[in-house]
């Protein structure tokens, strides 16, 4: 097997260059590093070129360093896993240890670079894998959620300066969890009811931490505080309601209504957690994740945001391998192929180059345009 694209570690340092033949030793090394997804060159697919990541390596490295430093510093300041719930936010607001614990201005800088990257890419983002798996999970989740939120905000025509606010809020939305390391090290099912209530303080805790960072961060604080609110009013910590209208930046929320930025963040946060897993759910396929979001639209999540996510999140990026789950007279169930070209209008109906039959044997390449075969269904391998 020949590597088709460079493989990097969590620091984005090169591990294996494109063109190198993988041997068992290399494969075991990748498994040890928990690198599960790599691009392999397949004969006959030279014209299928996977798109680059939506975020440049330079921006990703800079973001990783800032996240690593900030998250490490916060985790070392205090473990409040066993503090009384009513004391946590007060301590964060007044304890000198948390003064300037998060430099929001530095995060504005790296998020500004992310916004610039997305505007440079234009339509390319529709053929690009949105969620990447390069970094330590807590850094990865912060960056993934920020990128998804920015893409959604861009779809709702937010100007660049507002996308920076949205992206920064999304990148820092879980900083409140960093003061509970003993709790976040457990699976949700292993937490006591009291521990679960304490962990639910993290939106308010995160907002309190940002309030100590200097500058006017009121919008970022409100977005972080409200990212677990729900459209039906059953979220936390405030029990705010949503109206399921498009969260355009010009519409100010009414009394007891969720701020628009938080409605976008809620969907981005949920999608990345569903894809990569968190304390509550095990990882699932992008298609299953989108189905889960759709089921929650209108009650858990803003329906308009979920609809936009369906339009812009590409669950079948160019170069990925898919299997025909339901075939027709021309393309049999169980056959496999490579995504050859994306479909900007219907992201779940790409063009496939079928290379293997249902027995896994190499077959003569055939192009399957899912737009021309409405009855055929595929899934990622």
The pLDDT tens digits of the residues spanning 135-173 come to 577 888 999 999 999 999 999 999 999 999 999 999 999
pLDDT (0 to 100) of residue 18: 84
Task: Provide the β-strand partners of residue 14.
Answer: 8
Backbone angles phi, psi at 53, to 5 degrees: -60, 150
Side-chain-side CA neighbours of 83 within 13 Å: the count stands at 18
How far apart (Å, rounded) are the C-alpha atoms in residues 178 and 184? 8
Signed CA dihedral, 171, 116, 294, 227: sign only: positive
pTM for this one?
A: 0.85
Please count the helices (runs of H) and the strands (runs of E) in the chain.
13, 9
Greatest mean pLDDT among 53-57, 115-119, 177-181 lies in: 177-181
Q: Where do the structural domains in the chain lie, given as residue ranges?
A: 2-41, 57-312, 321-380
What is the CATH architecture of 57-312? Orthogonal Bundle (1.10)
Beta bridge partners of 321: 338
Residue 375, Cβ density class (10 Å: 0-12 exposed, 13-18 middle, ≥19 buried): exposed
Give the torsion sign (CA, 190, 195, 200, 202): negative
What DSSP element (H or E) covers 336? strand 336-341
- What is the tens place of the pLDDT at every residue in 77-118? 989 999 999 999 999 999 999 999 999 999 999 999 999 988
Residue 173 DSSP SS3: coil
Q: Cα(308)–Cα(313) distance, rounded to whole angstroms?
A: 8
Q: Per residue in 248-274, pLDDT tens?
A: 877 777 888 999 999 999 999 999 999
Backbone angles phi, psi at 290, to 5 degrees: -65, -40
């Amino acid at each position: 097997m020949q590597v088709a694209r460079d493989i990097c570690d969590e620091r984005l340092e090169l591990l294996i260059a494109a063109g190198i033949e993988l041997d068992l030793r290399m494969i075991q090394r990748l498994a040890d590093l928990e690198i599960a997804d790599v691009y392999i060159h397949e004969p006959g697919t030279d014209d299928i070129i996977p798109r680059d990541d939506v975020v440049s390596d330079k921006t990703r490295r800079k973001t990783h360093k800032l996240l690593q430093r900030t998250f490490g510093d916060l985790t070392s300041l205090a473990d409040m896993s066993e503090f009384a719930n009513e004391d946590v936010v007060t301590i964060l607001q007044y304890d000198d240890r948390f003064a300037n614990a998060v430099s929001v201005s530095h995060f504005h800088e790296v998020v500004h670079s992310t916004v610039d990257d997305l505007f440079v890419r234009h339509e390319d983002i529709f053929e690009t894998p949105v969620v990447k798996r390069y970094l330590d999970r807590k850094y990865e989740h912060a960056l993934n959620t920020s990128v998804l939120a920015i893409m959604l905000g861009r779809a709702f025509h937010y100007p660049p300066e507002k996308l920076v606010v949205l992206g920064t809020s999304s990148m820092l939305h879980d900083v409140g969890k960093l003061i509970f390391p003993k709790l976040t090290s457990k699976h949700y099912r292993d937490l006591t009811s009291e521990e679960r209530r304490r962990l639910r303080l993290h939106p308010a805790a995160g907002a309190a931490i940002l309030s100590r960072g200097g500058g006017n961060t009121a919008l970022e604080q409100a977005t972080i505080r409200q990212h677990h609110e729900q459209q039906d009013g059953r979220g936390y910590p405030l029990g705010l309601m949503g109206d399921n209208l498009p969260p355009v930046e010009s519409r100010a929320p009414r009394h007891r209504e969720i701020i628009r930025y938080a409605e976008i963040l809620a969907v981005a946060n949920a999608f990345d957690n569903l894809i990569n897993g968190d304390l509550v759910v095990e990882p699932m396929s992008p298609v299953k994740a989108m189905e889960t979001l759709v089921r929650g639209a209108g009650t858990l999540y803003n329906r308009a945001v979920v609809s936009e996510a369906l339009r812009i999140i590409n669950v079948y990026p160019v170069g990925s391998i898919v299997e025909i789950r339901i075939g027709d007279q021309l393309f049999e169930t169980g056959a496999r192929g490579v995504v050859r070209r994306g479909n900007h209008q219907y992201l779940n109906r790409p063009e496939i180059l079928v290379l293997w039959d249902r027995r896994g044997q190499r077959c003569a390449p055939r192009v399957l345009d899912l737009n021309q075969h409405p009855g055929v269904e595929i899934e990622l391998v």
